[in-house]
A and B are shown apart, each in its own frame.
Chain A
Amino acid sequence: MSIVIWGLIKFIVVLLLISLYVLFMTWFDRKVLARMQNRVGPKLIGFHGLWQPLADGVKSIWKEDVMPGKAYKFMFWLAPVITITTAFAISFVIPFAPPVKTASGVVFHFSVVNLNVAILFVFAFLGLSSYGVLYAGISSGGSKYPFLGAQREGAQMISYEIVLALSLLNPILMSQSLNFETIVAAQTHHLWYAFYQPVAFVTYLIAMFAVAGKVPFDMPEAESEICCGYFVEYSGLKMGLYPFAQYVVVLVLSAIMVLMFLGGWNGPFWDGGFVAGFIWYWIKVAFFIFLFTWIWGTLPRYRYDQLMDIGWKILLPITVLNIFWTGFALTIGLPFF
């Protein structure tokens, strides 16, 4: 019974914290981009515009919710719900801090559920999240830009989730576990997996941008080509849920990157203890979240066919070969493996 109560409490806390994080991120993105582009960014509401996200949120809630006349209403309504639900679902298996051993000897996990197949869970729900986009595209009443956006999203998700999963397979093979905390523990006493698996690290980094749908791989919502793609017909709060879910996915993918490749809460120095672990962990996660914004402000967008070429012709063979190499190294027991 206490598991259920603790689970519910954690559920609500994580829900609130992630919502706060998204609000902060909209401000942070705009501020960082503004800094890169010789602009000021949001400034008027609150300290350096810190309350701007709240104002935007209120605006999007009170905006008129327009639905195309020919839209398939149930699907149109369901699509953003699927997107946001799956995004939150993934975040519930991510540990937000190192586990703590309480006085009574029980280990307290800072994730809503400490699944032993957490990575499988993540992939299952990442796969489902593309349904939100596909439904949005199909149900927009024959509108063509959402249709094209959904097409692109479908192709992109299929090709890049494979790369993402195959990249993560290497740390999984090395640690013999699908649980994040075990994988982090496996990296505690020797080098982080990024040093054993530089190739998988890079392929994951690239696939991460494609799965999150961020520049340079933001084809499904390419603003200048298909005018925001799949959510063209959405307005008000329903439209707001798509960027919201995207920010959550960015957080989750950054956290998985840190947990799988960069030693989670282990630091290069000042190691051990909850506080040190917490700080190291979030410094690393914050760097990758910042990286998304940084790349956004720097690079142009790939073309759709080029994205497919990179995924199927370059990244997929490399990741498969890398898995063979990892298996080989583990079998013959190479040093450091």
Chain B
Amino acid sequence: MSSSDIRTLELNMGPQHPSTHGVLRLVLQLNGEIIENTSPRVGYLHRGFEKMAENMSYQQFTPVTDRLSYVASMNNNLAYAIAVEKLLGVEDQIPERAQYIRVMVAELNRIASHLLWVATHALDIGAMTPYFYCFREREMIVDMFEEICGARLLYNYVRIGGVAKDITPRFMDLLKEFVKIFPDRHKEYNTLLTKNRIWLKRTKDVGVISAEDAINWGISGPALRGSGMEWDLRKKRPYAAYSELDFDVPNYPEGDVYARYLVRMDEMLQSIRILEQCIQKIPDGPVMMDDFKKITKPIKPPAGESYGYAENPTGELGFFIVSEGKNKPYRMKIRAPSFVHAYALPFMIKGSLLADVVAVIGSLDLVFGESDR
């Protein structure tokens, strides 16, 4: 048989595939089960957020940011609020209490997002049970958010100039209880997965990317730290109240799926550390700048540009806003980590097996609300 007789099998994975986490479509060229080539097709969830921003006032756009990475709405709100505050030049005037609340909700949402990620990642690799354990704790976090803002998924809580409402005593009680019990629950996931022989076989040396390649592809967040880069915006470019808090940046040099898994697992415990400090340190005072209390009062930032960013559970989420001095942005560019990661995917899975594709997709924590915008 000559080489021209060998054909590859073209396999459409997605957009309705159980492991593509929403609507990623991968066109795989398979040689047996080995991936020869991949081309990701994104855009099935495109809702035109960047264009919508040009026709909405600054406050109106906050709920839209919820819909980016819908499992980490608080972090999205925070990144957007920071971007607009920078544009207005008021980032130093945010009340101290609001900064602490922002850190608390962002870290809680980071844990919630990571829990959902562990759950679905394990489900992709075939372990069904961790899913339900993770949802047990995620439910506690969602209950807390319901207590402070009434919503369970899309919060619209972190606003320009502060946060929407002050936190309640019941929220603090729930938070204290959560912080107390979470480390034990974290051990349960470790028991099921971290030292599991099959889990190690499925995740070690799979989807390897070196630190250099990771930087070149623009990978950020836990995926970059899984390649051994100690890069965390909370530490390197502190925003909100992170500069006053003590925490480590977990990173592992292997660059494989397992390293990214360990990074996220460790990050959850670091988030608990941050929350413990917040409970101790949170000051009293207002939670919103007086200028922004009225949501109907138009915000007219001076003409100029700003880039606001936050370390999201998925990676670095950035908002680049160009203002012409009107109450609407002239242009808004959203830097979505999932979009960047989705395009690094073919590089990471080339030559591996079909089963590794789902493991790598899972390890990158792709959220298509964010990627497709």
Contacts and interface: CB of A to CB of B under 8 A. Distances in A.
Q: Do A and B bind each other?
A: yes
B170 interface: no
Interface in B314-373: 353-358
Contact of A300 (B33, B199, B354): B199
Interface in A220-259: 222-227
A33 interface: yes
A181 interface: no
B127 A148 contact: no
B129 A227 contact: no
Nearest to B126: A301
Contact of A224 (B124, B129, B136): B124
Interface residues of B, number: 32
Contact of A225 (B19, B128, B196, B198): B19
Contacts of A145: 11
A302 B132 contact: no
A300 B126 contact: yes
Contacts of B125: 224, 300-301
How many A residues touch the partner, as a band?
A: 20 to 34
A225 B18 CA distance: 8
A222 B17 contact: no
Contacts of A277: none
Interface in A152-180: none
A64 interface: no
A36 B129 contact: yes
Contacts of A298: 127, 129, 192
Main secondary structure of the interface of B (DSSP, over half): helix
A306 B201 CA distance: 8
B127 A300 contact: yes
Contacts of B9: 144
Interface string B92-126: 00000000000000000000000000000011111
A37 B127 CA distance: 11
Contact of A297 (B122, B128, B196): B128
Interface in A34-59: 36-39
A156 B356 CA distance: 18
B202 A226 contact: no
A38 B126 contact: no
Nearest to B124: A224
A36 B130 CA distance: 10
A186 B129 CA distance: 41
B354 A148 contact: yes
B355 A304 contact: yes
B355 A300 contact: no
Contacts of B133: 37-38
Interface in A19-40: 33, 36-39
A305 B353 contact: yes
A300 to B, nearest CB: 4
| Pairs A-B, 4 closest by C-beta atoms | A301-B126, A37-B132, A300-B127, A300-B126
17 contacts: A37-B133, A38-B136, A144-B9, A144-B12, A148-B11, A151-B33, A223-B18, A225-B19, A225-B354, A296-B128, A297-B129, A298-B129, A299-B196, A299-B198, A300-B122, A300-B198, A303-B202
Given A222-B355, A303-B356, 20 more contacts: A33-B128, A36-B129, A37-B129, A38-B133, A39-B132, A144-B12, A148-B354, A218-B126, A222-B126, A224-B126, A225-B358, A297-B128, A297-B129, A298-B127, A298-B129, A299-B126, A300-B196, A301-B127, A302-B198, A304-B354
